[in-house]
Amino acid sequence: MKIIALLNLFIFSATLAWSQTAQTVPFSSDRWEFSGEHTLEEYKGQSAVRLSSSGAYLPDVSLKNGIIEYDVAFTSDRGFVGAMFRMQDRNNYEEYYMRAHQSGNPDAMQYTPVYNGMAGWQLYYGEGYGIPHFYRFQEWMHVKLVIADSQMEVYIDNMNVPVLHAFELKREPAAGFVGIYTFIKDAYFANFTYQSVENPAIKSAPKSFPAAEEGTITQWQVSNAFGSQQLENQTELSKDFKSELNWQTLDSESSGTVNLAQVSETSDEINTVIAKFTVDSDRKQIKPLHIGYSDMVTVFVNGKAIYGGQRNFRSRDYRYLGTTRLHCLHLFAAKQRRQ
């Protein structure tokens, strides 16, 4: 999504109060709904389903907190293999996935929220989101997800030590259905089980992200999505254009991040929003503004474009992810308020 920043300057508890018995759902069951190519096969001694850039869903499940387990096997070819939970629909859910081709690298696996069909992997990476892991290829690996309110632990093979602790799930905890998927690769799944547990035990020590630094913009006014062609080659934003848009308030996370995928679904034609805030200054001064973004951004100050940049995935080399990195702009703030 292209982002336009508009500034108007003037300056363990392990007690299980309720638990559902773990349910195994064979892939031959008509409870599963499949999207894309899939076949039921025997693989390495297991009755399995082979997914080929496709998904499998259990729409009759309602799981908020609990445990999901499955066996998975795949090659080292590039691709993504994962699980979806708390699914409100096929475009809104929490997601955990494994990157076979990044085995041993910092982004070998990752958690991300998905809003309106858009994963936030470029915003959410590093501690609390992803971790290095070495996979065993073309062999069965057992995966266990423990989901408890705003936390998730991931276990692979060793069920005593979690490999990943996602200690701040981004979506509001809500019961939803579950699923598995592959993207641009084949993978085998077997022995899928789920269990609703009110208070599943989290072994990892409690942790949280640091509070927002002083000066962080904590609230933005964000427009509805529109086509980027409306601003093509534009160096100024007119008041008339802004007045035609619908606005909502989005709070930033402690990192200062605002996930604009929350606004609406997008497409090749509808792919841009305006995010704006106002700064008041009691005198003339120059202040640095640190901004980070993924994909594309244009920064307008008092309606005039002062910066533009692109950080698209693979736009610079084959390993360039386009993840958020801070850039510093120096802005002149006038004493009086100007629109």
Alpha-carbon span 280 to 335, nearest angstrom: 8
The residue that leads in pLDDT, 189 or 257, is 189
Q: pTM for the complete prediction?
A: 0.86
Per-residue pLDDT tens over the stretch 1-35: 444 444 443 333 333 334 578 999 999 999 999 99
Interior CA angle at 77 toward 72 and 83, to 5°?
A: 35
pLDDT exceeds cutoff 50 at 203: yes
**The pLDDT of residue 241:** 86
3-state secondary structure of 288: strand
pLDDT digits (tens, 9 = 90+) for 33-48: 999 999 999 999 999 9
| Arithmetic mean of pLDDT, 223-227 | 94
Better-scored residue on pLDDT, 1 or 158: 158
In this prediction, residues 222-247 reach a mean pLDDT of 88
* pLDDT given for residue 298 in this prediction: 87
The pLDDT of residue 279: 85
The string of pLDDT tens digits covering residues 64-105 is 999 999 999 999 999 999 999 999 999 999 999 999 999 999
Lowest mean pLDDT among 19-23, 81-85, 158-162, 257-261: 19-23
User: Rounded to an integer, what distance in angstroms lies between the CA atom of residue 18 and that of residue 279?
Assistant: 50
What pLDDT band is residue 182 in, cutting at 50, 70 and 90? Answer: very high
- Residue-level pLDDT at 101: 95
Q: Where are the domains of the chain?
A: 2-11+211-333, 23-196
Q: Is the pLDDT of residue 316 over 90?
A: no
Residue with tokens 């640091």: 210
Average pLDDT taken over every residue of the chain: 87
For residue 85, the cross-strand partners are 94
Between CA 221 and CA 278 the distance in angstroms is 10
Average pLDDT over residues 55-71: 98
Confidence band of 236 (pLDDT split at 50, 70, 90)? confident
The fold of 23-196 is Jelly Rolls (2.60.120)
Cα 217 from Cα 251, distance rounded (Å): 9
pLDDT 10s digits, 275-287:
999 888 888 888 8
Q: 88-112: buried (b, 16+ CB within 10 Å) or exposed (e) per residue?
A: eebebbbbbbbbbebbeeebbbbbb
For residues 75 and 185, the answer to whether their CB atoms sit within 8 Å is yes
Task: Flag whether pLDDT at 169 surpasses 80.
Answer: yes
- Provide the pLDDT for residue 207: 94
Q: Which residue has the higher pLDDT, 139 or 1?
A: 139
The pLDDT value recorded for residue 281 is 85
HSE (side-chain half, CA atoms, 13 Å) at 62: 2
Can you tell me the mean pLDDT for 180-204? 97
> Which residue type, as a one-letter code, is found at position 327?
H
DSSP letters spanning 113-171: EEETTEE-TTTS-STTTEE--PPPTTS-EEEEEEEETTEEEEEES-TTS-SEEE----S
Q: Dihedral through CA 117, CA 122, CA 128, CA 129, nearest 10?
A: 50
Please report, for residues 41, 68, 149, 198, 266, the alpha-carbon distance to residue 98 in angstroms, rounded to integers and kept in the order given. 22, 15, 22, 27, 25
Distance between CA 13 and CA 128 in Å, rounded?
21
CA distance 116 to 266: 8
How do residues 278-314 score in pLDDT, each as one tens digit?
888 888 888 888 888 888 888 888 888 888 877 666 5
Q: How distant, in Å, are the alpha carbons of 148, 169, 195, 202 from that of 208? A: 15, 11, 26, 14
State the Cα–Cα distance between residues 247 and 88, nearest whole angstrom.
24
